Amino acid sequence: MSVPAAALPRPAAQGYYASHWRSLDYFNLYRLTLAVALVFTGILFDESDLFREGAGTRFQGFAYAYLVIAALFVLGIRARWPEFQIQLTAHITADIVLVMLMMSTSERLAGGMGLLLVISIASGGLVGSGRLTLLYAAMASIAVLLQHSFNILGGNQGMESFFQVGLLCAGYFAIGWLAHALTQRALRSETLAQRQADELALLNRINALAIENSPDGLLAVRGDGVVRHISPRALALLGITMPVTPGVTRLQDCSPELARLAQQLHAGTTPTLSTPTAQLRVRCIPLATPDDSRVLMLEDQSQAEQAAQRLKLAALGRLTANIAHEIRNPLSAISHAAQLLHEEARDPAQARLTAIIENNARRLDRLVEEVLTLNRRDRLNPVSFDAASLAALIDELRQTEEIPADAVIVSMPESLHFQFDPDHLRQIVWNLLRNAWRFSRKRTDSIRFSAQMSGDNLQFDIEDDGPGLLPEHQGKLFEPFFTTDAQGTGLGLFLARELAEANHAVLAYVPGTSGARFRLSLRGSE
C-alpha cells in the first residue's frame, strides 16, 4: 500500500534533531510577528517626524520586504531544504541587512532597532546549538558600525555616539558568547538524555524478552488485586484464556485460586497451587511501592523436578562412566578365569560355581555396556528405514534372543519410511523385545509388533501376552535402576527412553491392555 507524500515524515538534516527545526520554526514565527509590527509602524507613523523627510515610504518598503522574506523562510523550513545551518545563516543575515536598512531611515529608531539584533543573535545561537554564534555577532557589529559611519559622514550624527555604538557591539559579542556556552551545555544534556533514553529502551526490550522467554510465569499485582502485568508463560501455566488488560483486569476475575492464595502470601513463603495444566510453586516479591504492588513468580514444579533429575543423571552418568571403565578390565579377567575353570572342572558342583561366576560377569558386562551407551546417546547418525529394513532388524534381534519365529507377529504397512539412528533403534527394539519375551507366556503369537500412521506421526507398538504391570509400578517404569526382575539392571527402559528422546521420538507405556504394551512415536518421512 502506498503512503501519501504528505504523510511521510520530513527528513532531518544529519547532526540535528527534529527539535532544532522546530526551534527554527518558532524563531521565524517571531520574525513574522516583528515584520507585521514594523509594517504597521511604518503605516501609522508615515507622516510623523519619526522618520527623515521622505524616508517613511522607504521604511515601509523595507518592512514589507522583511515580511515577504519571513514568509518565504516558512517554505524552506517545511521542505527542510536547504540544510539547517544554511537556512539559519540566511535568517540571521536577512535580520541584519533589513534592520540596518530600516535603521538608516530614522536616527530616533536606530538605537532601539539595534537592540532587535540582540534577540536575533541570541536566538540564532540557541537554535543553531551555538554554531557560528560569534560570526553572527561580528556580522551585526560590522553592520552597525558601517551604518553609524555613514550617518556620521552624512552629518546626521556626531562622533560622540561611537561610545554608545561600541557598547552595543560589545553587547552583541557578550550575548553571542553566552548563547554559545548555554547551547553547548544544553546540547550535551540533550545528547546525554537521548543516550540514556536509548539505553533505557534497550533495557526495556531485554527485560521484555527475558520475561517472555522465562520458564517461570511472572505477574505484577497491585495491592488492590489489579493485574499490572502478566507474562505469556503465566497465562499458559494458569490456563487463563480470557483477555487480560493490565491496569484494569482483577486477579480475582482471571484466577480466583491464585487471588485467594495471594492474600495469604508474604516474602519467604512458597506455597503450591494446582492448575489444570501444572503444579505450581508460588513466590511473592514485594516491590515497595505506594500501591503495595507485588511480583508473583510461578514455578512449574515438574520442570524443576526434571531439571534436578537431569542434573542428578548427568552427575551419575559421569560417575558410572568412570566406574565402568575401571570395572571392565578386571571383569574381563574374571570372565576369562571362569571360562578356564569351567573347562577344567571335573566335579558338577565346581562346574555350577563357575557357571554362576560367568553369568554374573555377563550381567555386570551388560550393565557396563548400558551405562556407556547412555553416555553416547547424543551421538546421532540418522539413516532411512523402511518396512523391509525394520523387519530384518526385528528378525535379527529375535534370533539373538533365541525367540521362536512363530512367537513374534510383525504387522506394518509397506510404505513405511522414517529416519533414526540405527544403533539407537537397535538398542530400543532389543530392550523392548527382550522384556516382552521375558514376561510373556512364551508361546505362538506371544509378542505382537505393529506400526501405523497417526496423522504425520508413526507409532510402533510392542505388546506381549504376559500378566502386565501393576498400577503402582507403571509410574516408575522409566526411572533408572528400577526393575521387577532380580536378574535385570533397571537401566533398559530408562536407556530406551533416553535414546528415543535423543532422536526426537517418545517412548511411553500404554495402559489398559491385558499384557504390557509400549509405544514408540516419531515423525514419519516421505
Among residues 194, 225, 249, the one where a domain terminates is 194
Asked, for residue 206, whether it belongs to a domain, the answer is no
Asked, for residue 202, whether it belongs to a domain, the answer is no
Give 488's pLDDT tier (boundaries 50, 70, 90): low
Asked, for residue 256, whether it belongs to a domain, the answer is yes
Asked, for residue 270, whether it belongs to a domain, the answer is yes
Asked, for residue 70, whether it belongs to a domain, the answer is yes
Domain holding 344, by residue range, is: 304-375
Same domain, 462 and 416: yes
**CA atoms of 408 and 442, how far apart (whole Å):** 10
Q: At 237, which CATH number?
A: 3.30.450.20
Give 401's pLDDT tier (boundaries 50, 70, 90): confident
The pLDDT tens digits for 163-176 are 888 999 999 999 99
Same domain, 338 and 400: no
Same domain, 73 and 187: yes
- Is residue 2 over pLDDT 50? no
Same domain, 401 and 292: no
Give 377's pLDDT tier (boundaries 50, 70, 90): low
More confident residue, 374 or 446: 446
Taking the CB of residue 141, how many other CB atoms lie within 10 A of it? 22
Same domain, 427 and 336: no
Q: Is there a cis peptide before residue 82, judged by omega within 30 degrees of 0? A: yes
Same domain, 318 and 287: no
Same domain, 151 and 17: yes
Same domain, 43 and 101: yes
- Is residue 16 over pLDDT 80? no
- Is residue 380 over pLDDT 80? no
Measured torsion, CA atoms of residues 44, 46, 48, 53, in degrees rounded to the nearest 10: 170
More confident residue, 524 or 476: 476
Same domain, 399 and 518: yes
- Which of the listed ranges 144-158, 340-354, 383-397 does the model predict with the highest average pLDDT? 383-397
Asked, for residue 414, whether it belongs to a domain, the answer is yes
The pLDDT tens digits for 19-49 are 889 999 999 999 999 999 999 999 998 888 8
**CA atoms of 205 and 266, how far apart (whole Å):** 29
Asked, for residue 512, whether it belongs to a domain, the answer is yes
Segments of 147-244 assigned E as strands: 217-221, 227-230
Q: Are strands 447-454 and 506-509 parallel, antiparallel or unpaired?
A: unpaired
Among residues 194, 226, 252, the one where a domain terminates is 194
Give me the long-range contacts of 363-371 (CB less than 8 A, separation at least 24). Answer: 363/487, 363/489, 364/327, 364/331, 365/328, 365/331, 365/335, 366/489, 367/489, 367/491, 368/324, 368/327, 368/328, 368/331, 370/489, 370/491, 370/492, 370/495, 371/317, 371/320, 371/321, 371/324, 371/491
Same domain, 169 and 27: yes
Same domain, 53 and 164: yes
Same domain, 295 and 317: no
Closest CA to 375 of 476, 491, 280, 486: 491
Name the pTM for this structure. 0.46
Closest CA to 50 of 126, 102, 125, 127: 102
**CA atoms of 216 and 210, how far apart (whole Å):** 10
At residue 188, the pLDDT reads: 86
The pLDDT tens digits for 75-126 are 999 999 999 999 999 999 999 999 999 998 888 888 788 899 999 999 988 8
The pLDDT tens digits for 46-65 are 888 888 888 889 999 999 99
- Is residue 13 over pLDDT 80? no
Asked, for residue 6, whether it belongs to a domain, the answer is no
User: Which set of grid coordinates corresponds to residue 234?
Assistant: 503465566
User: CA distances (Å), 373 to each of 194, 432, 460, in order?
Assistant: 58, 16, 22
Q: How many domains does the chain have?
A: 4
Q: At 462, which CATH number?
A: 3.30.565.10
Closest CA to 66 of 103, 38, 87: 38
Among residues 279, 301, 323, the one where a domain terminates is 301
At residue 287, the pLDDT reads: 85
The pLDDT tens digits for 276-293 are 777 888 888 888 888 888
Taking the CB of residue 337, how many other CB atoms lie within 10 A of it? 14
Contact 105, 137 (CB under 8 A): no
**CA atoms of 188 and 302, how far apart (whole Å):** 53
- Is residue 12 over pLDDT 90? no
Q: How deeply is 198 buried, as exposed, middle or buried, from its count of CB atoms within 10 A (0-12, 13-18, 19+)?
A: exposed
